[in-house]
Amino acid sequence: MTFLSNEPLIEAEASHAFIDWPSLIDTEGKTLFFGVGLCTAKEPAVAIPFDILSFFFVAERLKRFFGLSRIIVLIADTHAETNTFMSSDLIRNTRTNIVHTLEKVVRNFSLPNFEILLASQMHQLETFKRINTQLPAIDNQYLHQELADIIWLSKHKNLGIKLGWTIDSSTKPSGHDERFFDTQLLAHQKLPISFIFVKAGRTFDAKRPKASPYIAVRGEHRLLLQPCKQVNRKLTAQSGGRNTNTLEGAKKHLGNIVRLFEKLFIKLPAMTQEQKMQFILNIATQ
């Protein structure tokens, strides 16, 4: 589809294999959802990166293009319990910070029909419990929860599209990004929904230039979704002693987020790219 190929933040080639074309052409009034995790497989999130805006902006773009009725942002707090390093207090504190930050994004960008939903709330519903108990046994507990989530959203929220992220453009999943889990989901149950993937988030670290768009871990160098009055200085500081290609790749990705913001909301004339990032960051965090 030309629309997907023309959006730089979407990995169109990787998405094509996961699209249910008959249902995609009949998505008007349906729901899109994307999940936001509290941790990686090895460590907790310490912040939310600027890159998460790619999810919100692409979701809004897809909503307008396909005539979707609602976007659900699922906070995967229950899923974090599958990691032994995530204590109850850490899950609660991380969840509170994420919800507070994302509520500001929805409010400050005036994103209509965006709903932030906690997995822990959804999992307490009798309709969800029934689906969960009827599923065949799956050794991977995280995968079991994801499958139950998607089935429930399909039955009770009119799900049409799941928006995820992928580490690269390969047609075959090569790492534990969301395509890895989505491939496993489809192997267990075919659903009339389409999976579309945004590109990975970017760091300024040459050894790990690509990362989750919604999780920043300790020690990463990247632009965060936190108040910062000197984005230009922060980006300039990264040029010292760092891989130029990595830095330029990160700036290009962040620039694509800026470009989509301008397409959706307002053109920002007479500004440098860094000034535009500053403008968007100020809106997101005020």
Number of domains in the chain: 1
Give per-residue pLDDT as tens, 249-281.
999 999 999 999 999 999 999 999 999 999 999
Q: What is the pTM of this model?
A: 0.94
Query: Residue 68 sits in which domain range?
Result: 2-285
CA atoms within 13 A on the CB side of 239: 6
Q: Determine the Cα angle at 164 with ends 100 and 195, to 5°.
A: 135
Per-residue pLDDT of the chain (286 residues; tens, 9 = 90+): 688 889 999 999 889 888 888 888 888 899 999 999 999 989 999 999 999 999 999 999 999 999 999 999 999 999 999 899 999 999 999 999 999 999 999 999 999 999 999 999 999 999 999 999 998 888 888 888 999 999 999 999 999 999 999 987 776 666 667 888 888 888 888 888 999 999 999 999 988 999 999 999 999 999 999 998 889 888 877 765 557 888 899 999 999 999 999 999 999 999 999 999 999 999 999 9
* Cα–Cα distances in angstroms (integers) from residue 161 to residues 59, 70, 157, 170, 195, in the given order: 10, 11, 11, 21, 6
CATH number (domain holding residue 119): 3.40.50.620
